[in-house]
């Protein structure tokens, strides 16, 4: 479980094909990798991935073909920036919202406009998930917990403040960028309960 509060921006060091058509990614990080156990979960721009190898300043994860196809990870190359968050421990501050690291789909940035020092994004959500997105609700985009400003059909808006831009990969964001989308966990369960009535 995660909170959507990014604690490091890493960079992909290498991408290699793995058994079964998946990928092995090496990601450079500022984390002290001595404190990361093999088998630990780290959110990597949204998807929860398992650490399978590590060394000073880097860790490796395996990505299944399913995950590569359903997220943006299949597009990653050496140098790609990665929003990183280590798994929460009981008692940690929940600064964002409950995030599982299970990606629902890929959203598309349709517009990116500067508003002073902030950046306003217009995002197109996959149609099947738009009902889970609500004005003033939460979404996770590339692993970042964000507040939805407004919603119109499959399109919603968010505003990125200077701190978020400085501490995530969103400083590189422009129209056409694909983003890993995880809808709010509570909205998903409420919709399920409502549909069974």
Chain centroid to Cα 15, Å, comes to: 19
DSSP E strands, the chain: 8-17, 23-28, 41-44, 48-55, 58-63, 81-86, 105-115, 118-124, 138-141, 144-152, 155-160, 178-183
Topology of domain 105-195, per CATH? Elongation Factor Tu (Ef-tu); domain 3 (2.40.30)
pLDDT at 97: 83
pLDDT of 144-154, one tens digit each?
A: 999 999 999 99
8 A C-beta contact, residue 37 and residue 98: no
Cα dist from 181 to 6, 19, 92, whole Å: 15, 27, 24
pLDDT at 193: 67
- In CATH terms, are 8-86 and 105-195 the same topology? yes
What is the arithmetic mean of pLDDT over 100-121? 95
Q: Is the pLDDT of residue 197 over 90?
A: no
Q: CATH: 3.30.450.40, 2.40.30.20, 3.10.450.30, 3.40.50.970. Which one for 8-86?
A: 2.40.30.20
Task: Report d(CA 156, CA 147) in Å as an integer.
Answer: 10
Band the pLDDT of 127: cuts 50, 70, 90.
very high
Number of residues assigned to the chain: 197
Confidence of residue 192 (pLDDT cuts 50, 70, 90): low
Give the per-residue pLDDT at 196. Answer: 63
Query: pLDDT digits over 32-58, tens only?
Result: 999 999 999 999 999 999 999 999 999
Q: Is the pTM of this model over 0.75?
A: yes
Compute the chain's Rg from CA coordinates. Answer: 16
Banded pLDDT at 20 (limits 50, 70, 90): confident
The confidence score (pLDDT) of residue 28 equals 98
**Domain coordinates in residue numbering, the chain:** 8-86, 105-195
């Amino acid at each position: 479980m995660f909170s959507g509060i990014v604690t490091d921006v890493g960079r992909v060091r290498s991408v290699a094909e793995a058994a079964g058509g998946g990928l092995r990614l090496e990601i450079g990080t500022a984390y002290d990798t001595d404190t990361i156990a093999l088998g630990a979960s780290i959110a990597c721009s949204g998807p929860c991935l398992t650490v399978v190898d590590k060394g000073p300043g880097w860790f490796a994860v395996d990505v299944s073909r399913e995950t590569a196809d359903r997220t943006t990870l299949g597009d990653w190359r050496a140098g790609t920036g990665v929003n990183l968050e280590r798994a929460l421990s009981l008692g940690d501050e929940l600064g964002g919202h409950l995030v599982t690291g299970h990606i629902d789909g890929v959203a598309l940035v349709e517009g990116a406009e500067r508003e002073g020092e902030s950046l306003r994004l217009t995002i197109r959500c996959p149609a099947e998930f738009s009902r889970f997105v609500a004005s003033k609700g939460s979404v996770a985009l590339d692993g970042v917990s964000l507040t939805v400003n407004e919603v119109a059909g499959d399109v919603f808006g968010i505003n990125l403040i200077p701190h978020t831009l400085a501490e995530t990969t969103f400083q590189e964001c422009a129209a056409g960028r694909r983003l890993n989308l995880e809808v709010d966990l509570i909205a998903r369960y409420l919709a399920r309960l409502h549909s069974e009535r």
